[in-house]
Structure 1
Protein backbone atom coordinates (compact mmCIF):
# COMPACT_ATOMS: atom_id res chain seq x y z
CA UNK A 1 0.00 0.00 0.00
CA UNK A 2 2.81 2.39 0.84
CA UNK A 3 4.33 1.99 -2.62
CA UNK A 4 0.99 2.73 -4.32
CA UNK A 5 0.49 5.75 -2.11
CA UNK A 6 3.98 7.04 -2.96
CA UNK A 7 3.37 6.75 -6.72
CA UNK A 8 -0.10 8.22 -6.38
CA UNK A 9 1.34 11.27 -4.61
CA UNK A 10 4.05 11.69 -7.26
CA UNK A 11 1.48 11.37 -10.05
CA UNK A 12 -0.82 13.84 -8.33
CA UNK A 13 1.96 16.43 -8.17
CA UNK A 14 2.46 16.17 -11.94
CA UNK A 15 -1.27 16.18 -12.72
CA UNK A 16 -1.82 19.16 -10.40
CA UNK A 17 0.99 21.06 -12.10
CA UNK A 18 -0.50 20.48 -15.57
CA UNK A 19 -4.06 21.29 -14.49
CA UNK A 20 -2.97 24.42 -12.59
CA UNK A 21 -1.06 25.73 -15.62
CA UNK A 22 -3.99 24.91 -17.89
CA UNK A 23 -6.42 26.86 -15.67
CA UNK A 24 -3.98 29.77 -15.42
CA UNK A 25 -3.58 29.85 -19.21
CA UNK A 26 -7.33 29.72 -19.79
CA UNK A 27 -7.88 32.50 -17.24
CA UNK A 28 -5.17 34.69 -18.81
CA UNK A 29 -6.60 34.20 -22.31
CA UNK A 30 -10.11 34.78 -20.98
CA UNK A 31 -9.03 38.07 -19.42
CA UNK A 32 -7.46 39.23 -22.69
CA UNK A 33 -10.47 38.19 -24.79
CA UNK A 34 -13.02 39.79 -22.46
CA UNK A 35 -10.96 43.00 -22.35
CA UNK A 36 -10.88 42.98 -26.14
CA UNK A 37 -14.65 42.42 -26.19
CA UNK A 38 -15.26 45.38 -23.87
CA UNK A 39 -13.01 47.66 -25.94
CA UNK A 40 -14.62 46.73 -29.24
CA UNK A 41 -18.13 47.02 -27.81
CA UNK A 42 -17.89 50.29 -25.89
CA UNK A 43 -15.05 52.21 -27.54
CA UNK A 44 -15.45 51.21 -31.18
CA UNK A 45 -19.18 50.39 -30.96
CA UNK A 46 -18.53 47.21 -32.95
CA UNK A 47 -18.82 44.11 -30.73
CA UNK A 48 -16.93 41.00 -31.75
CA UNK A 49 -19.10 37.88 -32.00
CA UNK A 50 -16.05 35.63 -31.99
CA UNK A 51 -14.68 36.96 -28.70
CA UNK A 52 -18.09 36.76 -27.06
CA UNK A 53 -18.61 33.12 -28.00
CA UNK A 54 -15.00 32.13 -27.34
CA UNK A 55 -15.05 33.68 -23.87
CA UNK A 56 -18.25 31.79 -23.04
CA UNK A 57 -16.75 28.45 -24.08
CA UNK A 58 -13.46 29.17 -22.33
CA UNK A 59 -15.35 29.95 -19.14
CA UNK A 60 -17.12 26.58 -19.33
CA UNK A 61 -13.76 24.85 -19.80
CA UNK A 62 -12.29 26.79 -16.87
CA UNK A 63 -15.18 25.86 -14.57
CA UNK A 64 -15.12 22.17 -15.47
CA UNK A 65 -11.36 21.71 -15.30
CA UNK A 66 -11.14 23.91 -12.21
CA UNK A 67 -13.90 21.88 -10.58
CA UNK A 68 -11.95 18.68 -11.21
CA UNK A 69 -8.84 20.31 -9.76
CA UNK A 70 -10.68 21.41 -6.61
CA UNK A 71 -12.05 17.88 -6.25
CA UNK A 72 -8.48 16.59 -6.44
CA UNK A 73 -7.44 18.96 -3.68
CA UNK A 74 -10.48 17.79 -1.66
CA UNK A 75 -11.41 21.42 -1.14
CA UNK A 76 -14.79 21.21 -2.82
CA UNK A 77 -17.84 22.49 -1.03
CA UNK A 78 -18.98 20.05 1.63
CA UNK A 79 -21.43 20.10 4.47
CA UNK A 80 -19.20 18.56 7.10
CA UNK A 81 -21.27 19.28 10.22
CA UNK A 82 -22.54 15.69 10.59
CA UNK A 83 -19.21 14.12 9.61
CA UNK A 84 -17.37 16.24 12.17
CA UNK A 85 -19.66 14.91 14.92
CA UNK A 86 -18.67 11.30 14.09
CA UNK A 87 -15.60 9.42 15.24
CA UNK A 88 -12.51 9.94 13.04
CA UNK A 89 -12.78 6.39 11.68
CA UNK A 90 -16.46 6.79 10.77
CA UNK A 91 -15.68 10.22 9.29
CA UNK A 92 -13.17 8.63 6.93
CA UNK A 93 -15.80 6.06 5.91
CA UNK A 94 -18.24 8.90 5.15
CA UNK A 95 -15.51 10.59 3.05
CA UNK A 96 -14.93 7.32 1.15
CA UNK A 97 -18.66 6.99 0.45
CA UNK A 98 -18.93 10.64 -0.65
CA UNK A 99 -16.00 10.26 -3.03
CA UNK A 100 -17.61 7.14 -4.50
CA UNK A 101 -20.88 9.00 -5.12
CA UNK A 102 -19.02 11.80 -6.92
CA UNK A 103 -16.96 9.30 -8.91
CA UNK A 104 -20.07 7.44 -10.08
CA UNK A 105 -21.58 10.73 -11.24
CA UNK A 106 -18.33 11.73 -12.97
CA UNK A 107 -18.13 8.36 -14.72
CA UNK A 108 -21.72 8.10 -15.90
CA UNK A 109 -22.63 11.71 -16.64
CA UNK A 110 -19.37 13.46 -17.37
CA UNK A 111 -17.11 10.82 -18.84
CA UNK A 112 -19.53 8.49 -20.64
CA UNK A 113 -22.28 11.02 -21.34
CA UNK A 114 -19.82 13.77 -22.20
CA UNK A 115 -17.93 11.49 -24.58
CA UNK A 116 -21.13 10.48 -26.37
CA UNK A 117 -22.25 14.11 -26.62
CA UNK A 118 -18.84 15.15 -27.96
CA UNK A 119 -18.82 12.46 -30.62
CA UNK A 120 -22.41 13.26 -31.67
CA UNK A 121 -21.61 16.95 -32.03
CA UNK A 122 -18.38 16.62 -34.03
CA UNK A 123 -20.24 17.19 -37.30
CA UNK A 124 -21.94 20.42 -36.16
CA UNK A 125 -19.87 23.59 -36.47
CA UNK A 126 -20.18 26.59 -34.19
CA UNK A 127 -21.42 29.49 -36.29
CA UNK A 128 -19.00 32.09 -34.93
CA UNK A 129 -15.84 30.03 -34.38
CA UNK A 130 -16.41 27.48 -37.13
CA UNK A 131 -15.03 24.64 -35.04
CA UNK A 132 -16.87 21.40 -34.25
CA UNK A 133 -19.16 21.67 -31.24
CA UNK A 134 -17.77 18.31 -30.14
CA UNK A 135 -14.46 20.02 -29.37
CA UNK A 136 -16.27 22.37 -27.04
CA UNK A 137 -18.27 19.52 -25.47
CA UNK A 138 -15.05 17.56 -24.89
CA UNK A 139 -14.53 19.57 -21.69
CA UNK A 140 -17.04 17.20 -20.07
CA UNK A 141 -15.21 13.89 -20.62
CA UNK A 142 -11.84 15.52 -19.95
CA UNK A 143 -12.95 16.91 -16.59
CA UNK A 144 -14.76 13.64 -15.82
CA UNK A 145 -11.57 11.69 -16.49
CA UNK A 146 -9.61 14.08 -14.26
CA UNK A 147 -12.13 13.58 -11.46
CA UNK A 148 -11.80 9.81 -11.83
CA UNK A 149 -7.99 10.00 -11.66
CA UNK A 150 -8.20 12.22 -8.60
CA UNK A 151 -10.78 9.82 -7.13
CA UNK A 152 -8.33 6.92 -7.33
CA UNK A 153 -5.60 8.97 -5.67
CA UNK A 154 -7.98 10.23 -2.97
CA UNK A 155 -9.26 6.72 -2.30
CA UNK A 156 -5.73 5.41 -1.79
CA UNK A 157 -5.12 8.19 0.74
CA UNK A 158 -8.43 7.63 2.51
CA UNK A 159 -7.93 3.87 2.72
CA UNK A 160 -4.44 4.43 4.12
CA UNK A 161 -5.87 6.91 6.64
CA UNK A 162 -8.59 4.41 7.60
CA UNK A 163 -6.01 1.65 8.08
CA UNK A 164 -3.92 3.89 10.33
CA UNK A 165 -7.00 4.72 12.42
CA UNK A 166 -7.94 1.02 12.61
CA UNK A 167 -4.50 0.12 13.96
CA UNK A 168 -4.74 2.83 16.62
CA UNK A 169 -8.24 1.97 17.77
Structure 2
Protein backbone atom coordinates (compact mmCIF):
# COMPACT_ATOMS: atom_id res chain seq x y z
CA UNK A 1 0.00 0.00 0.00
CA UNK A 2 2.80 2.37 0.89
CA UNK A 3 4.35 1.82 -2.55
CA UNK A 4 1.09 2.85 -4.25
CA UNK A 5 0.84 5.94 -2.05
CA UNK A 6 4.43 6.91 -2.82
CA UNK A 7 3.83 6.42 -6.55
CA UNK A 8 0.68 8.57 -6.32
CA UNK A 9 2.62 11.29 -4.47
CA UNK A 10 5.46 11.16 -7.00
CA UNK A 11 3.00 11.62 -9.86
CA UNK A 12 1.29 14.52 -8.08
CA UNK A 13 4.67 16.09 -7.27
CA UNK A 14 5.73 15.80 -10.91
CA UNK A 15 2.47 17.35 -12.12
CA UNK A 16 2.82 20.16 -9.58
CA UNK A 17 6.41 20.82 -10.67
CA UNK A 18 5.34 20.80 -14.31
CA UNK A 19 2.70 23.42 -13.52
CA UNK A 20 5.34 25.43 -11.64
CA UNK A 21 7.66 25.38 -14.67
CA UNK A 22 4.78 26.49 -16.92
CA UNK A 23 3.94 29.24 -14.42
CA UNK A 24 7.52 30.52 -14.24
CA UNK A 25 7.95 30.36 -18.01
CA UNK A 26 4.71 32.24 -18.58
CA UNK A 27 5.64 34.97 -16.11
CA UNK A 28 9.13 35.29 -17.63
CA UNK A 29 7.66 35.62 -21.12
CA UNK A 30 5.30 38.27 -19.80
CA UNK A 31 8.05 40.26 -18.04
CA UNK A 32 10.48 40.02 -20.94
CA UNK A 33 7.84 40.99 -23.49
CA UNK A 34 6.69 43.96 -21.42
CA UNK A 35 10.26 45.13 -21.05
CA UNK A 36 11.70 44.55 -24.52
CA UNK A 37 8.79 44.25 -26.95
CA UNK A 38 6.36 46.95 -28.02
CA UNK A 39 3.35 44.76 -27.20
CA UNK A 40 3.10 41.92 -24.70
CA UNK A 41 0.99 38.82 -25.36
CA UNK A 42 -2.28 38.71 -23.44
CA UNK A 43 -2.33 34.94 -23.02
CA UNK A 44 0.63 34.82 -20.62
CA UNK A 45 -1.35 36.21 -17.70
CA UNK A 46 -4.13 33.66 -18.10
CA UNK A 47 -1.69 30.79 -18.55
CA UNK A 48 0.15 31.82 -15.38
CA UNK A 49 -3.12 31.98 -13.46
CA UNK A 50 -4.39 28.62 -14.68
CA UNK A 51 -1.08 26.84 -14.14
CA UNK A 52 -0.94 28.29 -10.61
CA UNK A 53 -4.44 26.96 -9.90
CA UNK A 54 -3.51 23.48 -11.15
CA UNK A 55 -0.26 23.60 -9.19
CA UNK A 56 -2.29 24.13 -6.02
CA UNK A 57 -4.63 21.27 -6.96
CA UNK A 58 -1.76 18.83 -7.40
CA UNK A 59 0.27 20.16 -4.49
CA UNK A 60 -2.55 19.93 -1.98
CA UNK A 61 -2.71 16.16 -2.32
CA UNK A 62 1.04 15.97 -1.66
CA UNK A 63 0.62 18.27 1.35
CA UNK A 64 -1.78 15.76 2.90
CA UNK A 65 0.86 13.03 2.80
CA UNK A 66 3.72 15.22 4.02
CA UNK A 67 1.48 16.74 6.72
CA UNK A 68 2.19 20.29 5.55
CA UNK A 69 -1.26 21.66 6.34
CA UNK A 70 -1.63 23.83 9.40
CA UNK A 71 -2.83 21.95 12.46
CA UNK A 72 -3.27 22.58 16.14
CA UNK A 73 -1.51 20.02 18.31
CA UNK A 74 -2.83 21.10 21.69
CA UNK A 75 -4.67 17.80 22.27
CA UNK A 76 -1.94 15.72 20.64
CA UNK A 77 0.69 16.97 23.08
CA UNK A 78 -1.41 16.07 26.15
CA UNK A 79 -2.30 12.45 25.37
CA UNK A 80 -0.50 9.26 24.38
CA UNK A 81 0.15 7.77 20.96
CA UNK A 82 -2.95 5.51 20.95
CA UNK A 83 -5.29 8.45 21.57
CA UNK A 84 -3.39 10.52 19.00
CA UNK A 85 -3.84 7.81 16.39
CA UNK A 86 -7.59 7.60 17.05
CA UNK A 87 -7.89 11.39 17.02
CA UNK A 88 -5.92 11.54 13.79
CA UNK A 89 -8.26 9.02 12.13
CA UNK A 90 -11.35 10.94 13.31
CA UNK A 91 -9.93 14.20 11.95
CA UNK A 92 -9.02 12.61 8.63
CA UNK A 93 -12.50 11.08 8.27
CA UNK A 94 -14.04 14.47 9.06
CA UNK A 95 -11.92 16.24 6.46
CA UNK A 96 -12.63 13.46 3.95
CA UNK A 97 -16.37 13.89 4.51
CA UNK A 98 -16.08 17.67 4.20
CA UNK A 99 -14.16 17.38 0.91
CA UNK A 100 -16.73 14.93 -0.44
CA UNK A 101 -19.59 17.21 0.58
CA UNK A 102 -17.97 20.27 -1.03
CA UNK A 103 -17.22 18.29 -4.20
CA UNK A 104 -20.74 16.94 -4.62
CA UNK A 105 -22.84 19.90 -3.48
CA UNK A 106 -20.73 22.90 -4.43
CA UNK A 107 -17.90 22.33 -6.87
CA UNK A 108 -19.58 19.91 -9.25
CA UNK A 109 -22.75 22.00 -9.78
CA UNK A 110 -20.67 25.18 -10.19
CA UNK A 111 -18.32 23.55 -12.69
CA UNK A 112 -21.30 22.20 -14.66
CA UNK A 113 -22.84 25.66 -14.95
CA UNK A 114 -19.66 27.44 -16.06
CA UNK A 115 -18.17 24.85 -18.41
CA UNK A 116 -19.65 26.35 -21.60
CA UNK A 117 -17.78 29.64 -21.23
CA UNK A 118 -14.56 30.46 -23.08
CA UNK A 119 -11.54 32.21 -21.58
CA UNK A 120 -10.89 35.76 -22.70
CA UNK A 121 -7.32 35.72 -23.96
CA UNK A 122 -6.51 32.08 -24.66
CA UNK A 123 -9.96 31.16 -26.03
CA UNK A 124 -9.93 27.76 -24.35
CA UNK A 125 -13.11 26.24 -22.92
CA UNK A 126 -13.45 27.10 -19.24
CA UNK A 127 -14.33 23.48 -18.51
CA UNK A 128 -10.58 22.84 -18.37
CA UNK A 129 -10.13 25.64 -15.86
CA UNK A 130 -13.04 24.60 -13.66
CA UNK A 131 -11.88 21.00 -13.85
CA UNK A 132 -9.12 22.11 -11.47
CA UNK A 133 -11.65 22.53 -8.65
CA UNK A 134 -13.08 19.07 -9.24
CA UNK A 135 -9.56 17.69 -9.45
CA UNK A 136 -8.52 19.45 -6.24
CA UNK A 137 -11.26 17.94 -4.10
CA UNK A 138 -11.09 14.54 -5.81
CA UNK A 139 -7.34 14.36 -5.18
CA UNK A 140 -7.85 15.44 -1.58
CA UNK A 141 -10.40 12.65 -1.13
CA UNK A 142 -7.99 10.09 -2.57
CA UNK A 143 -5.14 11.42 -0.42
CA UNK A 144 -7.18 11.27 2.78
CA UNK A 145 -8.38 7.74 1.96
CA UNK A 146 -4.73 6.74 1.57
CA UNK A 147 -3.84 8.44 4.85
CA UNK A 148 -6.67 6.73 6.72
CA UNK A 149 -5.61 3.33 5.37
CA UNK A 150 -1.97 3.96 6.28
CA UNK A 151 -2.93 5.14 9.76
CA UNK A 152 -5.18 2.12 10.37
CA UNK A 153 -2.53 -0.32 9.19
CA UNK A 154 0.22 1.44 11.15
CA UNK A 155 2.29 2.28 8.06
CA UNK A 156 2.22 6.03 8.50
Per the TM superposition, whether the score is higher than 0.5 is yes
Q: CA offset at residue 149 of structure 1?
A: 1.3
Distance 1:145 1:16 in 2: 14
Structure 2 counterpart of 1:81: 74
Q: Does 1:105 align with 2:89?
A: no
C-alpha separation between the residues in 2 aligned to 1:85 and 1:45? 63
Query: Does the alignment pair 1:61 with 2:54?
Result: yes
Q: TM-score, normalised by structure 2?
A: 0.89
Q: Residue 108 of structure 2 is aligned with which of 87, 98, 115?
A: 115
| Deviation of 1:50 (Å) | 0.6
| TM-score (ref. length: structure 1) | 0.83
Structure 1 segments (4+ residues) deviating >4 Å:
none
Structure 1 residue 110 displacement after superposition? 3.5
Q: 1:126 aligns to what SS in structure 2?
A: coil
> Any conservation in 1 of the 2:115–2:130 contact (CA below 8 Å)?
no
Deviation at 1:70, TM superposition (A): 0.6
Q: Conserved in 2, the CA contact under 8 Å of 1:40 and 1:47?
A: yes
In 1, distance between residues paired with 2:17 and 2:84? 34
CA shift, 1:160, in A, is: 2.5
Match 1:17 to one of 10, 17, 22: 10
* RMSD value, Cα: 1.9
Q: Is 1:92 aligned with 2:85?
A: yes
Q: Which runs of 5+ in 1 are unaligned?
A: 1-7, 162-169
Contact 1:65/1:143, CA 8 A, preserved across alignment = yes
Bigger radius of gyration among the two: 1
Q: Report if aligned partners of 2:96, 2:145 keep a CA contact under 8 Å in 1.
A: no
Q: Is the 8 A contact 1:103 1:147 kept in 2?
A: yes
- Encode CA deviations 1:67-123: one digit per residue, 9 max, x unaligned: 121113333221113212211111112111211222122112145532322222221
Aligned partner of residue 21 in structure 1, secondary structure: helix
User: 1:34-53 alignment to 2 at 5 Å?
Assistant: 34-53=27-46
1:125-140 matches, cutoff 5 A: 125-140=118-133
CA distance in 1, matches of 2:104, 2:46: 24
1:141 to 122, 134, 138: 134
